[in-house]
Structure 1
Amino acid sequence: MAGTIDARLDELGITLPEPPAAAGAYTQVLRVGNLLYISGQVPFRNGEITYVGKVGRDFSLEEGQEAARACALNIVAQVKRALDGDLDRVARIVKLGGFVNSTPDYTDHPKVINGASNLMGDIFGEKGQHTRFAVGAGSLPLGVAVEVEAIVEVA
């Protein structure tokens, strides 16, 4: 039977992607006590990297937000896998960390990462309210425009 969060995903018309495998010598999710640490997720969808390039040159603010949203969908997919499919066990999205591959003069990094933050609020409601950072980077792995990591408290 679908839980409350699964019903919310259906209501929002969201289908979670298959969680991508680690691309290096690390794990995608590490549980320490009641916290899940989710490694940085990139805009990977249907087996392909999307949004390769720089925000402020190759992508607009809105496209950067879509890239951040894609990263957040992968975070939720990783959490769902780690919780054996039960997203109702999420007690709180504690923190998001956002990296934006941008031009040197770009300053709207927080607005880009709102794409991920807003999605967490849409899915988890009050439990989706979190702390966060958003910084610019000269480059990111695989040349992607955005990477987002997370810390999630679970019941």
Structure 2
Amino acid sequence: MTGKFETRLAELGVTLADAPAPAANYVPFVQVGDLVFVSGQISQDANGFITGKLGDTMSTEAGAVAARTCAISLLAQVKAACGGDLDRLVRVVKLSGFVNSTQDYTEQPKVINGASDFLVEALGDAGRHARAAVSAPSLPLGVAVEIEGIFQIA
């Protein structure tokens, strides 16, 4: 039986794939008490990595779409941390978003809104969170966005 969060995701046309495997020497998440710290998830979709530099080769709107894919990967990691039961998620506590952008680009918050808005749409009040949105001169594999998160679970 599908839980309330996955039912809502399905209504949004989103199916959580298996959580992405780490690309280097780290673990995808660490649980400490009722908190799950999820490693940075990079922008990617079914076509591969979403690359680009905001303020140069990518628009703010395209960056927000890339950030949304990071949020979907974060939820996949949380589901894995919860033994496959996403309904154990109590709330999103905090996101830290990194935007591959030029030195003069200042719309990082609008880019990370792609993740924040999606999480609230998918999870309701449980998706509301604290957040940071910062610029990075480059990100792994040239991706446009990377987001890490802290989640409370039951």
Q: Which runs of 5+ in 2 are unaligned?
A: none
C-alpha contact 1:92 1:152 (8 A) present in aligned 2:
yes
**Alignment deviations for residues 106-148 of structure 1 (CA, whole Å, 9 cap, x no partner):** 0000010000001110111001100000000101111111000
- Aligned identity (percent) is 52
Structure 2: distance between partners of 1:96 and 1:138: 19
The 10-residue stretch of structure 1 (18-27 or 32-41) with the greater mean CA deviation from structure 2: 18-27
Structure 2: distance between partners of 1:93 and 1:133: 13
Structure 2: distance between partners of 1:45 and 1:16: 12
Partner secondary structure for residue 7 of structure 1? helix
* Aligned match of 1:73: 72
* Aligned match of 2:115: 116
Query: How far is the alpha carbon of 1:47 from its aligned partner?
Result: 7.6
Structure 2: distance between partners of 1:46 and 1:123: 20
The alignment status of 1:132 with 2:149, answered yes or no, reads no
Structure 2: distance between partners of 1:56 and 1:37: 30
* Aligned match of 1:43: 43
Structure 1: distance between partners of 2:59 and 2:107: 10
C-alpha contact 2:139 2:146 (8 A) present in aligned 1:
yes
Structure 1: distance between partners of 2:47 and 2:102: 27
The 10-residue stretch of structure 1 (123-132 or 14-23) with the greater mean CA deviation from structure 2: 14-23
Matches within 5 A, 1:1-155: 1-46=1-46, 48-49=48-49, 51-155=50-154
Query: How far is the alpha carbon of 1:76 from its aligned partner?
Result: 0.5
TM-score normalised per structure 1: 0.96
Structure 2: distance between partners of 1:91 and 1:15: 20
Structure 1: distance between partners of 2:148 and 2:96: 5
Structure 1: distance between partners of 2:21 and 2:52: 22
TM-score normalised per structure 2: 0.96
C-alpha contact 1:20 1:44 (8 A) present in aligned 2:
no
Partner secondary structure for residue 102 of structure 2? coil
After the TM superposition, which segments of 4 or more aligned residues of structure 1 sit over 3 Å from their partners? none
C-alpha contact 1:100 1:112 (8 A) present in aligned 2:
yes
Q: Which runs of 5+ in 1 are unaligned?
A: none
Cα 1:85–1:47 change in 2 (3 A) is farther
